Structure 1
Amino acid sequence: MTSAPPLVLPGPHTTGATGHAWLHAAVARIEADFQRSADTHLIALPLPDFAARGIDLYLKDESTHPTGSLKHRLARSLFLYALCNGLIHEGSTIVEASSGSTAVSEAYFARLLGLPFIAVMPRSTSPEKIAQIEFYGGRCHWVESASAVYDEARQLELETGGHYMDQFTYAERATDWRGNNNIAESMFHQMARERFPVPRWIVVGAGTGGTSATIGRYVRYQQHASQLCVADPVGSVFAAYHRTGDATLTGPGSRIEGIGRPQVEASFIRSVIDRMIEVPDADSLAAMRALSRLLGRKVGPSTGTNFVGMLTLAHEMLARGEQGSILSLLCDSGERYLPTYHDDGWVADKLGDCSTAHEGIVRLMRPALTSGT
């Protein structure tokens, strides 16, 4: 795949006139790309049994970004942050530690600026994401376990003289959480004409923690009554860290690609999160498939995790006689996971029998069945 035309400004990496000219052209190119993109859609889920009881559920569809996932926003913010802090220069090699979606999006922006890109990732990353990284001109550098990506990325930064983007550290600070077209501002703008415009709950997953940090801070800054819930897959350390505050915790990590971590990440800000819900892998997979049928198109496994959180909170609201809206994210398309999470043989081998979980999710989607009314 050929890269985008380079920013034609000769000369070494410098902070002089030439360096500033390259920087200005780079920022302008990213901003022009942003202006070509419409906002992502807000989907009202067709769940009439909940709606009849005064609870509306919504998903903001982040799969419609140019690179197909929520991480497009993060990659754009990380590039602008690094550019404006003088961390990226003409010819810089961009290095990232990523299990897939962030690397896909960063490869896109690296190509936009004519910069080489290396993604450090576990060998278990889905083939579809690998193909997309390579489509955008990126190179994949393999490690055997998720915990090894950090040190390897730092080593590659030294070897290339480039810049390690370090999404797990900078995600929470690269985005302007007060507004300026961030995801939280977009959510509340799109909800303005709904029956319950201020969500009772906003549900997200956490990989870096950047999205939950942005939304949690924005809600407080705007003085909204919404509460923030993070749906965390079993195996991730985030839920335990939220309970204990022990940043030294480690764990096996998540089997739900894109969310959950084996260690506490700097961008995960526990103090802005009101609730954590730990979701078993089988429930995430069952919810992913049930939601795919409901929408008529496939969604990814992290969206399934979010959906479990939404249904759990909806039933708690019903039990308390509350009404309101619950808003979450459709993180990426399920087309990326056809050989894995959407393949029956792969699921049976990796996760076992999910039929009981599927039956449970179907019941949760029909409150009339579970409440007996």
Structure 2
Amino acid sequence: MHTIITQLIGQTPVMSIPVPNRNSTLVLKIEKNNPGGSMKDRMARSMVLAALQDGRLAPGGTIVESSSGNTGTGLALAALEFGLRFIAVVDHHAAPDKIRMMRALGAEIRYVEGDFREDEVAVVERQRLAAQLGAQLPGALFMNQSDNPANPEGYAGYVEELLAQLPDGIDAFVGCVGTGGSMTGISQRLKRHDPAIRTIAVEPAGSIVFGKPGHPYYQSGTGTPAGDEVGKVLDYSCIDEGVQVTDMQAFETARYIARRRGLLVGGSTGGAIYKALEFIALGKLSGTVVTTVADGGEKYLGTIFDDEWMAKRSLFDPSIAAQLDGWLIEKAQAA
């Protein structure tokens, strides 16, 4: 019997989506089933534990982190477990329900100041304020997930579970890349298990992780916006290919998966699913292809699942649902 909420982190289920006429299966690892609602619960606890063990964070101390919400929720849970104070530094880009969730769990919320466009992620200012608070407050530590080696280390359990759940083997992994922690932690371990596993990292169009020009985007909690630096935790050597997905492709796919499969996934997960299916359709991936339901669509009911919000930002593209149907609905074999 579990007595602490963080003991429920991990052992998340998998769900398969057959891809007809391609001899492939897309396997989704449902990380939204973690207690904080995302895969970030794993790395958040890993970072706090490492900081307590090496003395950078003292009992009763304060955690400070810049977050768009999921890491912050995971840190709020870890703070409760270890009796710590937690300050989340956020901007206007964070989903309102994520901020409400952090606050409900006892986190203190600090908004960055400044005039930012709605589709502009204020990561640089968030990082600056979080680092300042970490330096100024007694007993405080800025977690700095982008450069924290305990971030990728937090995904060891994810890979162990996946290998046990898919004993017949994994042919490819398609994941989102933001700080690079999950992509690095998962890809390194999968490659160690079997170097032939293909790893594809997906960033939003407008992100600068793979050297493309930066521009604003609506996808939350993924990518690195122009003006920010790619996280030191990102290991490019374990990634076979880096690709970009548009907001339209990501959001229309999330809506499609909800309506066709009954599974609510977040926008960045929609993007990873879109690219995974596209690569399968193009013959660039085959066999068992894994991607992560990084978080749930429940956090985006007022945004990407809201018709008015989507229409106001010109994010609808009906051709994407038709494209997904073409990839996922079995075609009759010609006589």
TM-score, normalised to structure 2, is 0.88
**Is the 8 Å Cα contact of residues 176 and 182 (structure 1) preserved in structure 2?**
no
**Is the 8 Å Cα contact of residues 315 and 367 (structure 1) preserved in structure 2?**
no
**Is the 8 Å Cα contact of residues 169 and 265 (structure 1) preserved in structure 2?**
yes
Deviations 1:306-365 (A, max 9, x none): 111110121122xx7x75111100111111111111101111122433223333333333
Deviations 1:251-309 (A, max 9, x none): 33542111111132212221110012211110101111111123213211111011111
1:207 to 154, 178, 182: 178
Bigger Cα displacement from structure 2, 203-212 vs 83-92: 83-92
Q: Which residues of 2 match residues 35-74 of structure 1 at below 5 A? A: 35-37=7-9, 39-45=11-17, 47=18, 50-51=19-20, 53-74=22-43
Task: Name the residue aligned to 1:316.
Answer: 282
Task: Name the residue aligned to 2:161.
Answer: 186
**Is the 8 Å Cα contact of residues 57 and 141 (structure 2) preserved in structure 1?**
yes
Task: Name the residue aligned to 1:136.
Answer: 105
What one-letter code is carried by the residue in structure 2 that aligns with 1:356? S
Task: Name the residue aligned to 2:117.
Answer: none
Task: Name the residue aligned to 2:144.
Answer: 166
Task: Name the residue aligned to 1:6.
Answer: none
SS at match of 1:68: coil
Task: Name the residue aligned to 1:278.
Answer: 244
1:108 to 77, 80, 92: 77
What is the rounded CA distance, in whole Å, between the counterparts of 2:232 and 2:69 in structure 1? 19
Q: Does 1:344 align with 2:307?
A: yes
**Is the 8 Å Cα contact of residues 202 and 228 (structure 1) preserved in structure 2?**
yes
Q: Does 1:255 align with 2:243?
A: no
Q: Does 1:151 align with 2:122?
A: no
**Is the 8 Å Cα contact of residues 40 and 65 (structure 1) preserved in structure 2?**
yes
Shift in Å, 1:34: 4.8
Task: Name the residue aligned to 1:363.
Answer: 326
Report percent identity of matched pairs: 27
1:290 to 251, 256, 264: 256
Q: Which runs of 5+ in 1 are unaligned?
A: 1-29, 242-249
Shift in Å, 1:224: 4.0
Name the structure where helix makes up a greater proportion of residues. 1
Q: Which residues of 2 match residues 4-43 of structure 1 at below 5 A? A: 34-37=6-9, 39-43=11-15
Task: Name the residue aligned to 1:4.
Answer: none
**Is the 8 Å Cα contact of residues 52 and 59 (structure 2) preserved in structure 1?**
no
Shift in Å, 1:176: 3.7
**Is the 8 Å Cα contact of residues 254 and 260 (structure 1) preserved in structure 2?**
no
Shift in Å, 1:239: 2.5
Q: Which runs of 5+ in 2 are unaligned?
A: 115-121
What one-letter code is carried by the residue in structure 2 that aligns with 1:291? I
What is the rounded CA distance, in whole Å, between the counterparts of 2:286 and 2:132 in structure 1? 52
Deviations 1:5-52 (A, max 9, x none): xxxxxxxxxxxxxxxxxxxxxxxxx9965545560001112x3xx245
Residues 268 and 176 (structure 1), Cα distance of their counterparts in 2 relative to 1, 3 Å cut: closer
When the two chains are superposed, the root-mean-square deviation of aligned CA atoms in Å is 2.5
SS at match of 1:141: strand
**Is the 8 Å Cα contact of residues 22 and 280 (structure 2) preserved in structure 1?**
no
Residues 109 and 35 (structure 1), Cα distance of their counterparts in 2 relative to 1, 3 Å cut: closer
Bigger Cα displacement from structure 2, 360-369 vs 337-346: 360-369
SS at match of 2:194: coil
Aligned residues: 322
Higher relative contact order (CA 8 A, sep 6+): 2
TM-score, normalised to structure 1, is 0.80
**Is the 8 Å Cα contact of residues 95 and 120 (structure 1) preserved in structure 2?**
yes
SS at match of 1:238: coil
